[in-house]
Amino acid sequence: MADERLVIDPDVLPPEDEDQGRYNPLWVRLQEAFGPIAAGVLIDGLDVATFGRFGIMAGPLIGGSAAYWVSSIYRLPVWQRLIWAVLAGTYCMVPRTEFIPVATLLGAFARFWHSKRRR
């Protein structure tokens, strides 16, 4: 027997969905709309959790690690991940910033700016 291989003829493939480029699943749309804000809420929540003396010692480690992780979700280059990690670690370490939602406001501004550039 000769070696028989499956050959797929491109003419018999099913047609691609025309709306595939325009339709985004719900999860992708939610992530685009609320992702940066949720990341800011996470960092602000960690800032509240690192209250007092504990924050001075553990704030840079906890806030920096969370910011590096969130930046990796958005596939930022390593140097930008490190910058965001240092900024978030410093933010979580500095006393009396627990009730100022700086990270959430930055996430909302980033989302607002990105939607303006997309149009």
pLDDT at 66: 93
Say if 22 falls within a structural domain: no
pTM of the full predicted structure? 0.69
Range of the domain at 104: 34-118
pLDDT at 28: 78
Say if 26 falls within a structural domain: no
pLDDT at 26: 81
Where would I find the H helices in 1-77?
Answer: 26-49, 53-73
Say if 74 falls within a structural domain: yes
Say if 113 falls within a structural domain: yes
DSSP state of 82: H
pLDDT at 64: 93
Q: What is the CA radius of gyration of the chain?
A: 22
Say if 96 falls within a structural domain: yes
Say if 28 falls within a structural domain: no
CA distance 44 to 39: 9
pLDDT in 10s for each residue of the chain, 119 residues: 555 565 555 555 555 555 555 666 887 777 777 888 888 999 999 999 888 888 888 989 999 999 999 888 888 899 999 999 999 999 999 988 888 898 988 888 877 877 656 55
Structural domain count, the chain: 1
CA dihedral 37, 43, 48, 53 (to 10 degrees): -160
pLDDT at 81: 92
Say if 62 falls within a structural domain: yes
